[in-house]
Amino acid sequence: MSALLEIEGLTARLPVEGELRPVLHDVSLSIGEGEALGLVGESGSGKSMTARAVARLLPAGAETVGAIRFDGSDVLGLRGTALRRYREQVAVIFQDPRAHVNPVRRIGDFMTETLRLQGVARGEAAARAARALRDVGIDDGERRLDQYPHELSGGLLQRVMIATVLLGEPRLVLADEPTTALDVTTQAEVMAILDELRRDRGLALLFITHDLELAAAVCDRTAVMYAGQIVETRAASLLDTDPLHPYTASLAAARPDVAAGVHRLAAIPGRPVSAFEAPAGCAFAPRCALAQDRCRDGRPALEALDDGEVRCWRAQELRGRVAHAIRGTERLHV
Amino acid sequence: MSEPVLEARGLRKEYGELVAVDDVDLRVPEGGSLAIVGESGSGKTTVARLIVGLSAPTAGTIIACGRDRSAPARSARERRRRGREVQIVFQDPYSSLDPRKTAEQALDEVLRLHRGGSRAERAERVRELAELVGLDERQARALPRALSGGQRQRIAIARALAAEPRLVILDESVAALDVSIQAQILNLLADIRERTGVSYVLISHDLAVVRQITDEAIVMYRGRVVERGPTARILDAPEHEYTQLLRASVPRPGWRPVRRPRPQTEGATA
């Protein structure tokens, strides 16, 4: 499989209060043409920073080491026209659509801005925008184009965002928690639309979410991040039944289940840490039910295992029984 | 059956033309836990505000701990008594705590207002409360800005419990938390109910959370209750088409998102 997007050993540091703090550590992943990759993690895990690095939206003063390649060419060094061309091929859908539209401009102006800049005539641009709205299930597109963002619900506005992004005919879509602010029934609908259009058009997708099940539903593979590192990448369908990393298994076990209440949830002790707080050794070791002494000594590398990749000293030894081992350790913790 | 901690009948709230809550009945037995499930705009948070007394119902009665609180409190004393009986924990621990008060100070303030006692007695109770919610000494003396979201939510829960209420309204209280922290707080809430016999009304859109910490549930849609019953039954065999849609929309292993029509149940209008 030829990779459309390749991230290799990406480490990023951001200036915070006069010092550079690490936010990403040695992140490597790839997305094939037309492939959907889920990026799952808790707050501070670096999943949004990874997307921002790919979109070239890291804050000013950020320092990066490693490489990002799109279609084989370097992304981090792009400037001017080349950067603009790159951004036409890589589109971003954010969590809060309301924060990314101009509230005093009509939906139509917002949607056709890029087309108009490219020299498409006004009437033609509007017709294309209305068609794009129809594709995301908004039938009265012409009327919507004349409305302002505040007249649309969150779910409708997010569909406008998806339509707008697809108008630019990108090859890769970065979706950063696009449904987190939406109601669960609206989430299902928006995800169905995004998934369908992506498959129809053969777009690659980097889907960022905190929800393992949601990622599994729309992605081919899922990468799990913790403390600025990828701890596991695996076929989405296997992540639930046969995770490679104790963190993935712990996360799945900690989530309440809609199909059955349990007396106590298998909570993970402590709290998620950011890259700059990560201890020496495995970043998850202080919270890991399966950690041993060696886990605290050195930082494990991301290594291939069973068609996936995992960053865990005990991965070989625990192979095939991580989920079982985690469930067996259920520690009582409040 | 013992007297319920909370009983509301025919609750209605209008905002101008809009009917946010229409003919809602609910009942929470002593030590019980009731979920109010629904999406944004369903009226669930308005119901919570009516119960706590943050706004007054247009019609209907609310009886908490045996006393009617349908009309606004007439005196400071009455208001304080209502505050003592029913407390609320909001969704966002970043905006619900006074940024200038440490956890100890925030708890002490509630104790002074509602429970009294000497300085030493209050300090002892603050220690007990901090321990109950799993805050260590350093965290109890820190300002909110030095604490994580999960730690702040523990303070908000401790503060709600400081008044020794018989009912706590949990308004999406775990929705903003990371999965690993959410599990800790859900366990904590279950423990506290077991230990103190406090009752909960959980306002939530998250059906898995609802299943984990409530016994009974009502499902609201466009201001009305469309289904009620034991939480397990509602989630295993939902009867109303809206509840069925809600249940079918929850991501789970093997789930695929699909476009589905929403039920055309008439919305409430004045």
Say if A78 is an interface residue toward chain B (CB within 8 Å).
no
Question: Does the pLDDT of residue A1 top 60, yes or no?
Answer: no
Does the pLDDT value for residue B268 go beyond 60?
no
- Which of B134, B151, B249 lies closest to A184 in CB terms? B249
Do A251 and B180 make contact, defined as CB atoms within 8 angstroms? Answer: yes
| Range A250-271 average pLDDT | 91
pLDDT at A330 over 80: no
Cα Dmax for chain A:
68
pLDDT at A40: 96
pLDDT given for residue B1 in this prediction = 54
Over residues B35-73, the pLDDT tens digits come to 999 988 899 999 999 999 999 999 999 999 999 999 988
Residue ranges with strand state E in chain A: 3-16, 19-32, 36-40, 63-70, 73-74, 90-93, 172-176, 204-209, 221-226, 229-235, 303-305, 308-310
CB B154 within 8 A of CB B147: no
Q: Where are the domains of chain A?
A: 34-56+78-219, 240-329
What is the rounded CA–CA span in Å between residue A213 and residue A21? 31
Looking at the complex, does the CB of residue A199 fall below 8 Å from at least one CB of chain B?
A: no
Which pLDDT score, from 0 to 100, does residue A183 have?
Answer: 87
Please check whether residue A112 is in contact with residue A125, taking contact to mean a CB–CB distance below 8 angstroms: yes
- A216–B contact, CB cutoff 8 A: yes
Report A:271-290 residues touching B (Cβ under 8 A).
Answer: 271-272, 287
Residue A334 has pLDDT above 80, yes or no: no
Model confidence at B266: pLDDT above 60: no
Q: Are A190 and A211 in contact (CB under 8 A)?
A: no
Nearest to B207 among A255, A258, A272 (CB): A258
Evaluate whether A109 touches A160 at the Cβ level (below 8 Å).
no
Question: What span, in angstroms and rounded, lies between the C-alpha atoms of A39 and A216?
Answer: 10
A217 closest CB neighbour out of B188, B207, B251? B251
Count Cβ neighbours within 10 Å for each residue of B130-141 and write b for 16 or more, e otherwise.
Answer: bebbbbeeebbe
Q: Is B190 on the interface with A (CB under 8 A)?
A: yes
B259 Cβ under 8 Å from any chain A Cβ: yes
Q: In this complex, do A259 and B236 lie within 8 Å of one another by their Cβ atoms?
A: yes
Q: Which of A217, A208, A282 is nearest to A40 (CA)?
A: A208
In chain A, % of residues over pLDDT 90: 76
Q: Are A134 and A162 in contact (CB under 8 A)?
A: no
Residue-wise pLDDT tens digits, A165-210: 999 999 999 999 999 888 888 899 999 999 999 999 999 999 999 9
Contact A267 B191 (CB under 8 A): no
Q: For position B258, what pLDDT does the model report?
A: 86
Q: Which residues contact B168 (CB under 8 A, 6 or more apart)?
A: B86, B87, B88, B89, B160, B161, B198, B199, B200, B201
pLDDT for the residue numbered B235: 97
Percent of chain B surpassing pLDDT 90:
75
**Touching check for A254 and chain B: CB below 8 Å?**
yes
Confidence of residue B97 (pLDDT cuts 50, 70, 90): very high
Across chain B, what does the average pLDDT equal?
91
Measured in whole angstroms, the distance separating CA B135 from the mean position of its chain's CA atoms is 21
> In 3-state terms, chain B is what percent helix, strand and coil (to 5)?
40, 25, 40
Give B181→chain A minimum CA distance, Å.
7
Q: pLDDT digits over A83-138, tens only?
A: 999 999 999 999 888 988 999 999 999 999 989 988 999 999 999 999 999 999 89
Read off the pLDDT band of B265 (50, 70, 90): low
Nearest C-alpha in B relative to A185? B249
Under 8 Å CB-to-CB from B210, ≥6 apart: which residues?
A: B35, B37, B202, B204, B217, B231, B235
Q: How many CB atoms lie within 10 A of CB A60?
A: 6
**Per-residue pLDDT at A333:** 41
Among A190, A197, A231, which Cα is nearest to A212's? A231
Could you confirm whether domain A34-56+78-219 is CATH 3.40.50.1820?
no
- CB < 8 Å to B183, chain A: 254-256, 265-268
Tens of pLDDT, residue by residue over B189-233, are: 999 999 999 999 999 999 999 999 999 999 999 999 999 999 999
CA geometry: angle A127, A128, A129, nearest 5 deg: 90
Residue A329 pLDDT greater than 80, yes or no: no
User: What per-residue confidence (pLDDT) applies to B269?
Assistant: 43
Q: What tokens appear for B41 in the block?
A: 């705009």
Q: In what order do the strands lie in the sheet with B86-89?
A: B86-89, B167-171, B199-204, B33-37, B216-221, B224-230
Pick A137's closest partner by Cβ from B248, B253, B259.
Answer: B259
| Interval A137-150 mean pLDDT | 92
Distance, CA of B263 to CA of A292 (rounded, Å): 53
Residue keyed to tokens 């037309």: A34
A positions 149-168 inside 8 Å of B (CB): 154
Chain B residues whose beta carbon lies within 8 Å of the beta carbon of residue A42: 178-180
pLDDT at A332: 42
**A147-155: average pLDDT:** 92
DSSP E strand boundaries for chain B: 6-15, 18-28, 33-37, 59-64, 67-68, 86-89, 167-171, 199-204, 216-221, 224-230
Contact A23, A191 (CB under 8 A): no
Q: Is the pLDDT of residue A16 over 80?
A: yes
A80-95 pLDDT, tens digit each: 999 999 999 999 999 8
| A29-54 tens-digit pLDDT | 999 999 999 999 998 899 999 999 99
Cβ contact A29:A85 at 8 Å: no
Q: How many CB atoms lie within 10 A of CB B16?
A: 6
For each of the domains in chain B, give its residue range(s) and CATH number, in order of start: 6-241 (3.40.50.300)
Mean pLDDT of A312-319: 95
Q: What is the pLDDT of residues B110-156, one digit of tens each?
A: 999 998 899 999 999 999 999 888 888 888 999 999 888 888 999 99
Taking the Cβ of residue B237 and every Cβ of chain A, the question of whether any pair is shorter than 8 Å is answered with no
Q: What is the DSSP letter of B57?
A: -
B247 part of contact set with chain A, CB < 8 Å: yes
Question: Is B179 within 8 Å of A187 when comparing Cβ atoms?
Answer: no
